Chains A and B, each alone.
Chain A
Amino acid sequence: MKEGSRLKVKVLTAGAVGFLGAALAAGPALATTTVVGPVSISTGAAGTPEVYAGSASGTALKLSVLGQSLTAGISSAQVASDLSAVASAVGQLAPVAATASQQASVKGNNQTQAPAQQCGTPPLPTLPSPFPALSAGPACSNVIAGVKDGQPTAMAQGTVADITANAAATFTTVLQPVLAPVQQIFGDLNQIAPSLNPATATVSQLLNVLQNSQTLGLHLGESSSMVQTVAGKVTALNIASGGEVDILGIGGSPVAKIVIGSSQAEAVYDRATGKATPSYDAAIVTVTINPLPATGLAAQTLTVAPGQSLTILQGTPLQSTITVADGTSTVNKDGSVTAVADGVSLDLLQGLGASSPTATDGGIDLALAESTASVGGKPAIPAAPVVAATSITPPAIKALPFTGSTPTLPLAGAGLLAVGIIGRRLRTWMRRPAV
């Protein structure tokens, strides 16, 4: 590596746009619907009508860097037996205002609210040097809420825009610690440079190639929430689509590709039996390591199952840790149930922006594919029909039926057994000759 050469590392910055709390304050309608927890069902007395409630919510992406965070792809749906349905979705939350935020809400039979899809490009602040600016494509939201023939339904979807960054500035404090481990990954750059690009004759030209490549790319899915009342069941379902994270794309193929599957949380309430059932499918993550062809190393694919953790590119500033959480299903005291698929957390490029050249407390943190669903209810208790008052007459029986046993039977049996044994002994004694 020539001295003075600089490797411009394009980093997708979290850029981050603010705190979630401030964003919630900016979007009061969303604040009331994103908090989803177990539904609360109270027991009724005779003559109590049926009661049920269901809710589903999810988040496609939560991103944080340097203590600042961004949340994108949020959806929430709720229905209740009072014939109310509410659906909310946000494309992206920013500290100033939410982007592509929508809500549909109805209460009463045979009503529907289905606003048109809303999309927007969130305004993102510019981070101070040396972090490059963050840019994002449009984020969208879709919501539908309705009640038909006494059956409420709510559906919401929040779509995450691709988030990218084109690094325009270089940061010298990061270069040195990055160069050595990059060499470890790729071998002598002088040797591999020609294999990357036949026209690249020098390392400096290679570095120019790297400068125009993305070091980190996020391509994520959406969060879809649905609660519907069909065929005697209330079903709450949330699917948070996963996505793909590419680290250090060189020559068209990333050194590390992290593919996150979708997560799903579902809760179903049977209105006839009053039983609720939760279930979840946690996301599965596949990590593919693609060393450069010049290194002679083969590609490697690893699967990170729920409950497991994996660290890649260890010992380099690009070190990244993938943790896949499992899910939980809970039956609450009132019979309602909650299913949670906890999603995936990625701690990427831990050496960038760290407290020291060898520390790994920097980088970008992502939380993806979180889903929650909750339902509960109580069937109706028939009310007393209006009938003429009649005297309560006991049935024609003198006593409640005998349905037990008496202690005399075993006592009699023991007595007879004793007498029988005595009789057998007496006979034996009788057979002996008289003395």
Chain B
Amino acid sequence: MTMQKSPDRLVSYLRNHKAARWAISGLSGALVLAAIGLLGYPFFTNIYQTNLQSRLAHQLATDPSLAQQFRNDAVPVGDSLTRIQIPAIGVNVVVVEGTSEADLMAGAGHYPGTPLPCEIGDVAIAGHRTTYGRPFSNVDRLVPGDRIILTTPVGSCTYEVDRAPFVVLPSDTSVVANTPGQYTLTLTSCTPKGSASHRIVIKAMMVGVPTQA
């Protein structure tokens, strides 16, 4: 009687046991499906964000209570806060209140604790770069003079980029520090694309005067 080596015994076992073959087949199928999910993740997030944006746009345009909530600085987290438009790079999305992972599934979110859009101080907004609609995908192309328009339930205002985009570490939260006495806007997103190692920051200053809705 000869001693079989382990691999040969494994192969022999698999060949002689149908259930084992089925298990391998099922496992490999599951792995392929998981791979499709991982590779298609950005695509799926974009679809989700598009559907969510449709609901948020409707809320921003029609919810009668949103204006009062805005005035009271009491917009619920996850609800529509303002629309941001950047004509230079084709941005036009609704920004929600909050910057948690769930909030940012809308594409862009307002930093809680920072002034509301069009108010005095530094308004801070974070947006995705490569997923969930990637609204801030091309913020690196902004140059001084480019306009950013915020439309809220109570009015609108225009900011103008006043310096070239710059890069900081994620821990550098001073970039969203308040600016008492000034009307400024800060946009943040991840950089480089496909990575979260750093953050790209855009600074803007209000031009003109806010208009009432």
Contacts and interface: CB of A to CB of B under 8 A. Distances in A.
Nearest to B208: A379
Interface residues of A, number: 50
B193 A404 contact: yes
Contact of A398 (B35, B36, B171, B188): B171
A427 B39 contact: no
B170 interface: yes
A431 interface: yes
B114 interface: yes
Nearest to A379: B208
Contact of B128 (A403, A412, A431): A403
A409 B38 contact: yes
A426 interface: yes
A130 interface: no
Contacts of B196: 402-406
Given A274-B207, A379-B207, A393-B177, A424 B28 contact: yes
A206 B36 CA distance: 99
A396 interface: yes
A393 B131 CA distance: 31
Given A384-B182, A407-B194, A401 B32 contact: no
A422 B28 CA distance: 8
Contacts of B130: 404-405
Given A400-B126, A405-B42, A413-B35, A392 B178 contact: yes
Contacts of A387: 180-181
A379 B131 CA distance: 36
B180 A424 contact: no
Interface string B196-213: 100100000111110100
Contacts of B199: 400
B179 to A, nearest CB: 7
Contacts of A398: 171, 173
A430 B15 CA distance: 6
Interface stretch (B61-69, B88-96, B105-113): B105-113
Q: How would you classify the secondary structure of chain A's contact residues: helix, strand, loop or mixed? A: loop
A404 B37 contact: no
A392 B122 CA distance: 11
Contacts of A272: 208, 211
Contact of B190 (A386, A402, A414, A427): A402
Contacts of A416: 31-32, 34-35, 38
B191 A385 contact: no
B177 A392 contact: yes
Q: Which of B101, B174, B178 has the most CB of A within 10 A?
A: B178
Given A382-B206, A385-B181, A401-B99, 15 more contacts: A381-B207, A385-B120, A387-B181, A399-B173, A400-B126, A400-B173, A400-B176, A400-B188, A402-B101, A404-B195, A406-B194, A413-B39, A417-B39, A419-B28, A424-B28
Listed from nearest, the 5 A-B pairs whose CB atoms lie closest are A423-B28, A404-B190, A413-B38, A420-B31, A417-B35
Interface of A: 46, 272-274, 378-382, 384-387, 389-390, 392-407, 409-410, 412-417, 419-424, 426-427, 430-431, 434
Interface of B: 11-12, 14-15, 21, 24-25, 27-32, 34-39, 41-42, 99-101, 104, 109, 111-114, 120, 124, 126-131, 136, 158, 168, 170-183, 188-191, 193-196, 199, 205-209, 211
18 contacts: A272-B208, A272-B211, A380-B208, A394-B174, A395-B113, A395-B114, A396-B113, A397-B99, A399-B170, A401-B104, A402-B101, A403-B104, A405-B190, A406-B194, A410-B38, A410-B39, A424-B29, A430-B11
